[in-house]
Structure 1
């Protein structure tokens, strides 16, 4: 399966090593990092909705979504480094990831018809739900694909830069997410049926 931008995760995790060690040294709880990620997603949504100068909006959204992705990477890594991993923490991590993405997408209500935004919100989360369902069934977690979490963030940056095309970009996000979910489902079927 095409891993998309997710293939860069090990490289990205290495770049965040200093931040992870600093957070651990300061005793920051992994849940606080998860909450920060949700906050960054919400701020990205606010920037999408409120900033009317596309270049400024794109820079703000890119920075906030980069921080959101960093938090999504750091919370679990911080938990592992500090020996604070719990099953409840894993649940909070997943819920935080979905909440951060939905909060960012909510900013699109100011830029596109509500049905298009709702479609993007619903279908955009499908790849994650497929992966989580597979993990619940005992399969290895499947990530990546043509429009995974990182690609969806990138599409929101493009949307911030080109707000006149918000509807078309959200439909592309939904279509790519549906394809990603279908590819993950096919991979899970092969893994679980074999």
Structure 2
């Protein structure tokens, strides 16, 4: 059950030319991480300041770019031999910051408690995957509601104005995804 995460290899192949261009120009993987954070924040600003459905196109474009940068940073580091432990930490922090910045845009259109609940729940799958990896399990990504699905849901909210229902789906789906990952990690560590 990998959700849209199963498309990552296909998406990475589509970005190969852009990745090669970044490598040829000496672009730092960390720069791409920060660009992803900026795109997440800009998508949050579009959610906050543009009404539905006018927010849909900018949110979609910015979140597509955010996902592209999230894919490119690590791949560029591997392709150019610039993987570092600090880069790995920055990558994880950048992913969480981009998600939280995007979700912060909902503060203008939904109750604080609901946005906070969705934001906390959205971080759980990643923290579980990192905890499992720290304990010796392979890194587990994907699930019913991961990063890509959260971005898609934000676009749906921006297009429809269904802010509260989307945040509810993000919260519940993220908890379910965390449960799926925990179950898998627990099994792996018990072997």
State the TM-score bracket (shorter-chain normalisation).
over 0.9
Give the alignment's TM-score, normalised by structure 2: 0.99
Provide the C-alpha distance between the structure 1 equivalents of 2:147 and 2:31, rounded to a whole number of angstroms. 21
Structure 2 residue corresponding to 1:169, chosen from 138, 141, 166: 166
Runs of 4+ off more than 4 Å: none
- Residue of structure 2 in register with 1:46 after alignment: 45
- Residue of structure 2 in register with 1:98 after alignment: 96
The superposition leaves residues 101-122 of structure 1 with CA deviations (integer Å, 9 ceiling, x where unpaired) of 0000000001100000000000
Q: Is 2:187 the counterpart of 1:190?
A: yes
Instruction: Flag structure 2 segments of 5+ consecutive residues without an equivalent.
Output: none
- Residue of structure 2 in register with 1:144 after alignment: 142
Provide the C-alpha distance between the structure 1 equivalents of 2:25 and 2:125, rounded to a whole number of angstroms. 34
Give the alignment's TM-score, normalised by structure 1: 0.97
Q: Give how far 1:27 is off.
A: 0.4
Q: Is 2:56 the counterpart of 1:58?
A: yes
- Residue of structure 1 in register with 2:176 after alignment: 179
- Residue of structure 1 in register with 2:126 after alignment: 128
How many residues align structurally?
Answer: 191
1:55 is paired with a residue whose SS is: coil
- Residue of structure 2 in register with 1:118 after alignment: 116
